[in-house]
Amino acid sequence: MNTLKLSLIASSLLAAGTAFADQEKKSDLEVIEVKGSYLKGYNAHDASGASRLKLDIIDIPQSVSVITDSQMSDFQLNDIDTLLDTATGVNVERIETDRTYYTARGFDITNFQVDGVGLPLSSGNNHADEDTAIYDRIEIIRGANGLMTGVGNPSATVNFIRKRPTVDNELAISGTIGSWNKQRLEADGTYNFSDSTAFRGVLVNQDTDSYLDRYSQNKTVLYAFLSHDFSDNTTLSLSHSYSDSRATGNNWGANPLFYTDGSATDYHVSTSTSADWSNWDVLKQNTVVELSHFFANSWQLRATYSHKTTDEDTELFYVYGTPDKTTELGLKGYASEYDNDDKHDLVDVYLTGDFTLFNRDHEFVVGANYSKMDGEEVSLYDYTTGNGFPVMPPLTKWDGNTPKPTFNDGRTGSDVTREQGALYFTGRFNIVDGLHLLAGGRYNDWKVEGVSYDKVQDAQDKEFIPYLGGVYEFTDGIVAYASYTETFVSQTELDINNNVLDPITGESKEVGIKGSLFDDRLIATLTYFKTAQSNVAHVHPDTVDLPPEEKRYIGLDGISSKGFEVDVAGEIYPGLQTSIGFTSFDIDGDKGVADYTPEKLFKLAAVYSFEQVEGLSVGVNMRWQDDISREQGVVGEGFDNAGETIVTKQDAYALVGLMARYEITPDIHVSVNANNITDEKYLTSLYWAQGYYGAPANYSASLTWSFN
């Protein structure tokens, strides 16, 4: 981080803090929906991303986890990768430094929402770092979420709930230093201009090197949220988020995992295939306008418009081939320039409220949305100078020093437009005492047009997605539930008659028990689920030997999985906040996916606040997964084991972290965090045929100063 920049930012924030400290608290400000709240502890109680109804978690007939602001702060979960590492049932597939996939129940997670609205990721992965400083909490609704998304996989929906102005004027400034020259400055504040107008802003600047050779990253995050109450019943808000991530020395692909004789490579954890000129810059911006109005009968109308843009500029270096075990030679470089620009526009309007029928109170939501995404990608190469495909030295001696190519050749890419219109409704019906039925559906009209890397993407589908769930309360705070919902995904492959295949359909069934315990301080969930996809495109047997453009496809059953989850969140003992999750499931239908996907996951986060030492808290977090593997072909001729299947293995492992926090004064606290304290060496993923090692033991310390 540039010292002058840091000094200027810190000076400005401290000056603002003094002004905040001098402000008189406005304790008589009316609390309305736009005002945010700080969730104390790890038990969030409610979640809205599954149905648009603000239900207690035990009243939602699906398994739900919430990562609260407290948990994010305790363990420095400053990006979505480290955050989702802590979420029950979610596996984070770090395939590269700046590209990540996420899976649950054996399927890619493609549905990401902000305040309940959003589009599925078009490519199923996230590029660059995504900071969590602007979010109050993150909801993870596992299984298919047919009501609110409809399109996507029956894996999970991740719903990011943004920070909103608080009741009182507040400002918190936090500075962090850590391993590999990490420096982070974060400011978060609310200012109430009047009883009806309030502002919240977040600023983050982070600069860090890495345990990986040549890799470093700088990111800047800005967030502004302005709300105005036109009356007691009508609120309008305007917000904008800006995220600029600039990475250098990033990898594209990763390290080879085996030698020509089939034996496993074993590089130093810092080994990277990046060139010293590699870079990956990603600028994301999102503007949101929200209007909320409460009618005299307490029904609420809410309208949201979201405009999101992404601008990616990259220069990448890939390494391919299989090295010889003795000489370490046999690898070759492959350089490319990749640029991506996309624009998302989304409008969502819904009406929600209570009504009485047969002398019982019920709840209902009806809504509509329209979304459009325009995306354009360009890839360029160097086929003329000789620098585009250099012969590599041994990777053990690679320092990234290779001439930078001239990217003028082989222009290719994509230009694709995706549109979706949807109507949805949900009713929560009070059938008899203790029994509630949640029923609804979503009608999707989905269209894709364009060309992606010479493949026509044109497709159009219409589909109604039903949802049915029930919750029965046995005793106060103990319920049983069951639910069924679906999803669909459009396909562009042609069948033997040259017609576009029908969409992939997915379904998720689950039953479970939930309990709100210890005076609602703890929520526990036990879930059994069964998830499947059908009509997945497979090459038609009659066209297997034809060129790619002439192949035709047939729809067959895809992946299915079944298993159970345990999720516990809240105060399990006075002063002890916990988040515990265990997932165990089996995957059928695709051996490769079953092999590289961990089918048993255990997540733990626990923080204890000492009553005997006021202001002192200590904690531990842990993530454990079972063993995974990937078949990598067979050993070639010339070796004693020629023809033997090559299998890359990653044994089961656990990552353990520790934290401690001490409140020096009510307004100042210091915290320290240690990650991977056992210095475990492990591959981050076998999702691809290549891989790299996760971070070794690392440490950070933070100082936070709050003003009220």
Residue 51 pLDDT = 64
- HSE toward the beta carbon, residue 277, CA cutoff 13 A: 13
Contact 569, 543 (CB under 8 A): no
Closest CA to 406 of 394, 422, 389, 393: 389
How far apart (Å, rounded) are the C-alpha atoms in residues 440 and 632?
A: 45
Q: Scan for tokens 């050749």, then name that residue.
A: 409
In 3D space, the residue among 83, 207, 75, 68 whose CA is nearest the CA of residue 673 turns out to be 75
> Which letter, b or e, does each residue of 220-244 get, where b requires 16 or more Cβ atoms within 10 Å of its Cβ?
bbbbebbbbbeeeeebbbebebbbb
pLDDT of residue 121: 62
Strand 55-56 vs strand 125-127: parallel, antiparallel, or unpaired? unpaired
CB contact at 8 A, 205 and 184: yes
Its sign, for the CA torsion 662, 663, 664, 670, is positive
Please tell me the distance from the alpha carbon of residue 592 to that of residue 106, in angstroms, as a whole number: 11
> What is the set of domains in the chain, with CATH numbers?
166-707 (2.40.170.20)
Identify which of 692, 694, 668, 667 has the alpha carbon closest to the alpha carbon of residue 679: 694
Q: How far apart are the first and last CA of the chain?
A: 28
Mean pLDDT in each 10-residue stretch from start to end of the chain (708 residues)? 39 38 36 39 74 82 92 96 96 94 91 80 75 94 71 84 95 97 98 97 98 97 97 96 96 96 96 96 96 91 95 96 96 96 94 91 92 93 95 96 96 92 92 93 88 82 87 94 85 79 85 93 95 85 75 85 96 94 95 94 97 93 97 93 95 98 95 98 95 97 94
Enter the pTM of the model: 0.90
Q: 240: part of which helix (H) or strand (E)?
A: strand 234-248
- pLDDT score for 14: 37
DSSP symbols for 330-365: -EEEEEEEEEEEEEEEEEEEEEEEEEEETTEEEEEE
Which helix (H) or strand (E) element contains residue 83? helix 80-84
Alpha carbons 341 and 161: distance in angstroms, whole number: 25
In sequence order, which residues have a C-beta less than 8 Å from that of residue 580 and are 6 or more positions away?
Answer: 566, 567, 568, 569, 603, 604, 605, 606
| pLDDT value, residue 458 | 82
